[in-house]
Structure 1
């Protein structure tokens, strides 16, 4: 498996663990962060951290050749300089000075020419080379392990995975976690290049999987391929997790009173996720309703400032992210989970985020923005309320509707009844079918 992640996505580890449970060995090549060990084991998954900082062999050869060239130039002109000095001392100082002057000038020309040739050689090499330095390093490590199949997580790893697949004559699985060329922060030229890259290499994959049917249909239409297999971003409940038990981790750690209703947002606090209006809505709601933000993100100072300005800062709490193994216990300690993603790009419009499946497994009623997949699951399955969360009024009205006793209890019942459908244990069967089809073909 190949991923650009430093902090490895839950989906990747779950897929790897499932394949290991079937008797496979999984080696994950992931990116190296500050302080990461080169080799580690996460659960049963063997992880090698790669930085790709080492120059490829061909570029090292170019540098060695020119290093020899510069040493030769230095030796040759030191010899000429010595000869000039002898001529100056024995015959004519004027001729010696002229020779010395010409020697220095010629030396400068040859050195400058050498540097220009070296730079041009490396640039030409990079243009002719089909993989970047970073990709070549990953390819080298992938070839070292001689795998029986290669699984590329997201677009940045697809090209190098295709090269490894071709060299080793092994099947390639492309796992698209999102519509990568549609990421909002990308420039138009970057989007075009990434779309072209995906269009070219997706057709080399023996199997394509993605996270929901909306993205699968968009990829089918866009790239003229068979509709990708859908494997949801589901999760499992921990072994000792008990839905009949009332977890109160937020109340205990943050000193929230037992009668307060906790509205939870967990994950990255982005300025583009509509969280500002969620805080503004709090000022218009009853005092027993409080907000908890669990995670990190650049929006935190702004959210705190809004709460101070509106006089409800004592009802807004922040909690750092917790380890994945503990997450569901904290999630179940809230009363409502919020998914406010705004349709700033096609990925957000078609989103099926991890937190949706965490809320479902924790049996937490959900308020979600009215986006296609969220409507299908949250409203369609009776897990909560969807609404156009464009204003504080929409937030407050929708939250009060969800917190109504009859609505709330109905959502809890549906969550308990249907949550297994959205568990990883259910999804891994689809993953096994994908790999079974590869085995049969090879």
Structure 2
């Protein structure tokens, strides 16, 4: 079948969209296209990307101009199934549905709760915006052919709107961040005098970047530790602010990293950080980086949210600490670095858990099965049992 995924926000190298979903569907033999705010048409990871241009940087202008370009390109494609990834594209999803198309809404985040973490929305406005977004999602979701949430928590909410809700969890490709070369060099990379820890992902204050800077300053009073940092700062001005902190001298900042760079950083790292603040959207999230660290045999230091504790401590693949307390980060990292055998076992346990429970292969298979069901003529799409 011909399948079109479309996004107005995400990068064409987005892990969930391009590397996992589009690539998996293409491997099942489908003709897969990705419409995105990209500056040209090209193959990305073997997927045909249809670029509609970068568009305006201002959010409101982007929502108007870029979404209009996306809709126009969707109509040109004449696909069997359309699959979109951004809340701002819900009107496009409705329009396509009203034109008789098969449409899937992919929900990456618990958007109504995520509103409370948006720095650019005034505090007094966050609750009404959150309520409005939730009502809009409810209205739209009822009219989609299927909903594809990234976590069980989000799926449970959407099942109250649409029984055809199929959770496709954002687990890693099992061997993407580990190779024979990495395994051969692993001991060499992790046995040097310098201790490397890592954080790769979106970088913001609520994701613990300032706490990490204070932690680095404290750690380097007792042992040499450097942070391998990859990702974009949000807002961009935060980078200049964080550079002024004393902990920055212990940072190796790589900017946005590709998957090969990610893999190299994992090979060097002794601990992977996921020390997010207790924001409403984070508490029940399942950060992709958490499972990526596990798949790469890197022990995890995570915030002690109940769900995360269940994953990390339940699989004995790291440690959990109360967030927003740099001195506890310091103590935990120091303990992990000073107990290399115990930390190595944590890494091995994480890898085992990723291989047996938390990997993309069964999720890709479930996604393809959903598409096959949607395309069977005169067949009722059965609800996902959850």
Q: Which residue of 2 aligns with 1:427?
A: 363
Tell whether the 8 Å contact from 1:296 to 1:320 is kept in structure 2 after alignment.
yes
Q: Secondary structure at the match of 1:26?
A: strand
Q: Provide the rounded CA distance (Å) in 2 between the counterparts of 1:316 and 1:136.
A: 41
Q: Which residue of 1 aligns with 2:381?
A: none
2:263 to 328, 335, 358: 328
Q: Which residue of 2 aligns with 1:23?
A: 29
Tell whether the 8 Å contact from 2:8 to 2:67 is kept in structure 1 after alignment.
no
In structure 2, relative to structure 1, the CA distance for the partners of 1:417 and 1:134 (3 Å cut) is: closer
Q: Secondary structure at the match of 1:235?
A: coil
Tell whether the 8 Å contact from 2:198 to 2:273 is kept in structure 1 after alignment.
yes
Greater mean deviation of Cα atoms: 260-269 or 231-240 = 231-240
Larger Rg: 1
Q: Which residue of 1 aligns with 2:183?
A: 244
Aligned length: 349
Give the C-alpha shift of residue 281 in structure 1. 2.3
Give the C-alpha shift of residue 213 in structure 1. 1.2
Tell whether the 8 Å contact from 2:83 to 2:104 is kept in structure 1 after alignment.
yes
Q: What do residues 216-271 of structure 1 show as CA deviations (whole Å, max 9, x unaligned)? A: 22334xx54338322222232349712532359989xxxxx912221111223212
Q: Which residue of 2 aligns with 1:226?
A: 163
Tell whether the 8 Å contact from 1:383 to 1:415 is kept in structure 2 after alignment.
yes
Unaligned runs of 5+ residues in structure 2 are 56-62, 379-386
Q: Provide the rounded CA distance (Å) in 2 between the counterparts of 1:193 and 1:390.
A: 30
Q: Which residue of 2 aligns with 1:341?
A: 276
Q: Provide the rounded CA distance (Å) in 1 between the counterparts of 2:22 and 2:328.
A: 41
Q: Secondary structure at the match of 2:366?
A: helix
Q: Secondary structure at the match of 1:374?
A: helix
1:235 corresponds to 2:172? yes
In structure 2, relative to structure 1, the CA distance for the partners of 1:138 and 1:399 (3 Å cut) is: same
Q: TM-score, normalised by structure 2?
A: 0.81
Q: Secondary structure at the match of 1:386?
A: strand
Tell whether the 8 Å contact from 2:242 to 2:248 is kept in structure 1 after alignment.
no
1:203 corresponds to 2:142? yes
Q: Which residue of 2 aligns with 1:98?
A: none
Give the C-alpha shift of residue 325 in structure 1. 3.4
Q: Secondary structure at the match of 1:230?
A: coil
Q: Which residue of 1 aligns with 2:151?
A: 212
C-alpha RMSD over aligned residues: 2.9
Q: How does 1:145-164 map to 2 (within 5 A)?
A: 145-164=77-96
2:43 to 25, 41, 44: 41
Tell whether the 8 Å contact from 2:8 to 2:66 is kept in structure 1 after alignment.
no
Q: Provide the rounded CA distance (Å) in 1 between the counterparts of 2:156 and 2:76.
A: 36
Give the C-alpha shift of residue 313 in structure 1. 5.6
Q: Provide the rounded CA distance (Å) in 2 between the counterparts of 1:239 and 1:390.
A: 29
Regions of 4+ moved over 6 Å: 248-251
Tell whether the 8 Å contact from 2:178 to 2:296 is kept in structure 1 after alignment.
no
Q: TM-score, normalised by structure 1?
A: 0.71
Give the C-alpha shift of residue 152 in structure 1. 1.3
1:437 to 373, 376, 383: 373
Structure with bigger helix share is 1
Q: How does 1:97-246 map to 2 (within 5 A)?
A: 135-167=67-99, 169-182=100-113, 183=115, 184-185=117-118, 186=121, 187-188=125-126, 189-220=128-159, 223-226=160-163, 228-236=165-173, 237-238=175-176, 241-242=179-180, 244-246=183-185
Give the C-alpha shift of residue 133 in structure 1. 6.2
Q: What do residues 348-400 of structure 1 show as CA deviations (whole Å, max 9, x unaligned)? A: 22222232232122110000111244223222222211111221222122223
Unaligned runs of 5+ residues in structure 1 are 54-130, 252-256
Give the C-alpha shift of residue 275 in structure 1. 2.0
Tell whether the 8 Å contact from 1:154 to 1:180 is kept in structure 2 after alignment.
no
1:376 corresponds to 2:307? no
